Structure 1
Amino acid sequence: MKLFVKNLTHVDLSYFDTERGLLGESWQTDIVLTGKLNDESMICDFSIVKKHIKKWLDDHIDHMLAIPAEHVGSSLTKLTNDRVSFRFDHSKENPDDSRRFQCDAPAQAICVLPMAKITPDAAAKWVESQILNLLPAELEAVSVRFSPEKIDGAEYQYSHGLKKHAGNCQRIAHGHRSTVGIYADGIRNDAMEKDWADRWKDIYLGTQEDLDKFIEEDGRRYHCFSYTSQQGLFELMIDSNQVYMLDCDTTVESLSAHIANVLAQENPGTHIEAHGFEGIGKGAISDHKVSL
């Protein structure tokens, strides 16, 4: 017998792609449970299993930076008992690619995946191997499926950190896959949406006050961010080509306001309404108009 739970939860994270670099992602999580019927003619109690699996995902992958630990370019160094440094050197695989990336953070902010390339299927298989023993004994198997939201229009993947947040959003490299809705004088504008998605393709959204310095190496420029939040010290070095700077916190409220304000400045006399999304099914709405 099998039980299924569709859309158990949404996992928002960033992961390191060996070609594209740091990517924000949002996965819908579906599960299938296999087992024998118990004395209550049930495989298991849905509520208990849902609670256990969601908590495990919250504690071990959600709002974290997932790293491909088995890739030749990856290195993970323990800095202190509760702090680690992840570094990725693209040149280890491709000598012509001088890019590198580094994130030093509390260990709880890094998800170490035993694979050379992170995909939704590979990450789901890893979760399956970790959680079966946590579930009721009558369960024989658990299947996990991660899948990005099906978005018909424009979309982008962004990473960020919110140092003032009391929860796990304070982690400097977590992110989302998001769509965007832009209305010009009340009419949905596909061209503006695509243009904005192109601006924020595979982007890290940085806050100006968190910018520590710039580094120049091998003809490349890097943004270096640093801040201390409730969970500890976070530091990030990332290729400047992948960074978009803002003078505000990168909350979804601020991001939607930024989109509306920039597009209103670029299109004076047009009322702009921007629907900014933070992952799947949640976000903020802002509007702005600049007089001619």
Structure 2
Amino acid sequence: MKLFVKNLTHVDFSYFDAKRGLLGESWQTDIVLTGKLNDESMICDFSIVKKQIKKWLDDNIDHMLAIPAEHSGSRLTPLANDRASFLFDHSKATPDDKRVFQCDAPTQAICVLPMTDITPEAVAKWVESQILNLLPAELEAVSVHFAPEQIIGAQYQYSHGLKKHAGNCQRIAHGHRSTVEIYADGVRNQAMEHDWAQRWEDIYLGTQEDLVSQTFENGINYHGFSYTSQQGLFELKIDSNQVYMLDCDTTVESLSAHIADILAEENPGTHIEAHGFEGIGKGAISEKMKARI
């Protein structure tokens, strides 16, 4: 017999891709449980198992930086105070690509995956291998399915960190796959949506007060970010071409306000309403209009 749970939870995190770099991601999670019926004609207590799996995902991948530990370009180095340094050398994947990426963070913010490429299918297999022994003994197998949201229209993947947040959003390299809805004078404007998705394609959204350096190394410009939050010291070095700077915190409220502000400036006399999403099914709405001069 099998039990299934559709849309058990969403995991929002960032992962590292050898070609595209740091990518924010949001996956819907479905599970299937296999086992024999017990004396109550049930496979297991559904509510308990759902909570166990969700908690495991929250503790081990959600709002973390997932790294492909077996890729030849990856190097993970332990640091003092339960911290670690992840360095990726892009030339190991593409010889002409001289970029490097580095994130130093508390170990609780880094998900070490035993694979060379991070895909929904590979991560699902890893999760299955990790959680089966944690579940009730009567369960014979667990199947996990991860999938990005099926978005019709504009979408982008962004990473960020919210140092003032009391929860795991404070981690400097976590992210989301998001859509955006933009209304101009009350009418949905897909051209504006796709334009904005191009601006924020594979982007790191940085806060100005967290920027500590801008360097030029081996022909590459880099932005360096650093801050200390409740979980500890976070540091990030990333290709400047993948950075979009803001003078505010990168909460979804601030991001939707930023979109509305910029589009209102670019389209004076037009009432802009921006629906900014943070992952799947949640976000903020901001409105702005600039008078024509």
Is the Cα contact below 8 Å between 2:4 and 2:30 reproduced in 1? yes
TM-superposition CA deviations, 1:194-216 (whole Å, max 9, x none):
00000000000000000000121
Secondary structure of the equivalent of 2:234? strand
The match for 2:122 is 122
Give the Cα–Cα distance (whole angstroms) in 2 for the partners of residues 192 and 27 of structure 1: 25
The match for 1:113 is 113
Secondary structure of the equivalent of 2:49? helix
TM-superposition CA deviations, 1:91-119 (whole Å, max 9, x none):
12322110100000000000000000000
The match for 1:47 is 47
The size of the alignment, in residue pairs, is 292
Secondary structure of the equivalent of 1:52? helix
The RMSD of aligned alpha carbons is 0.5
The match for 2:30 is 30
TM-superposition CA deviations, 1:174-228 (whole Å, max 9, x none):
0000000000000000000000000000000000000000121111100000000
- What letter is aligned with 2:253? E
TM-superposition CA deviations, 1:65-96 (whole Å, max 9, x none):
00000000000000124100000001123221
The match for 2:238 is 238
- What letter is aligned with 1:195? D
Secondary structure of the equivalent of 2:196? helix
Secondary structure of the equivalent of 1:70? coil
Gaps of 5+ in 2: none
The match for 2:247 is 247
- What letter is aligned with 1:206? G
Secondary structure of the equivalent of 2:280? coil
The match for 1:104 is 104
Is the Cα contact below 8 Å between 2:212 and 2:225 reproduced in 1? yes
1:74 aligns with 2:74: yes
Q: Which runs of 4+ in 1 moved over 4 A?
A: none
The match for 1:138 is 138
Secondary structure of the equivalent of 1:269? coil
Structural mapping, 1:194-273, within 5 Å: 194-273=194-273
TM-superposition CA deviations, 1:41-87 (whole Å, max 9, x none):
00001100000000000000000000000000000000124100000
Give the Cα–Cα distance (whole angstroms) in 2 for the partners of residues 180 and 230 of structure 1: 31
Secondary structure of the equivalent of 2:250? coil
Secondary structure of the equivalent of 1:261? helix
- What letter is aligned with 1:222? Y
TM-superposition CA deviations, 1:115-146 (whole Å, max 9, x none):
00000100010000000001000000000000
Percent identity over paired residues: 83
Give the Cα–Cα distance (whole angstroms) in 2 for the partners of residues 27 and 36 of structure 1: 29
Give the Cα–Cα distance (whole angstroms) in 2 for the partners of residues 92 and 201 of structure 1: 24
Give the Cα–Cα distance (whole angstroms) in 2 for the partners of residues 94 and 150 of structure 1: 30
- What letter is aligned with 1:4? F
Secondary structure of the equivalent of 1:194? helix
- Name the TM-score, length of structure 2 as normaliser: 0.99
Give the Cα–Cα distance (whole angstroms) in 1 for the partners of residues 156 and 89 of structure 2: 25
Give the Cα–Cα distance (whole angstroms) in 2 for the partners of residues 263 and 57 of structure 1: 37
TM-superposition CA deviations, 1:14-56 (whole Å, max 9, x none):
0001110000000000000000001110000110000000000
Gaps of 5+ in 1: none
Give the Cα–Cα distance (whole angstroms) in 2 for the partners of residues 269 and 170 of structure 1: 38
TM-superposition CA deviations, 1:222-251 (whole Å, max 9, x none):
000000000000000000000000000000
Is the Cα contact below 8 Å between 2:18 and 2:93 reproduced in 1? no
Is the Cα contact below 8 Å between 2:19 and 2:93 reproduced in 1? no
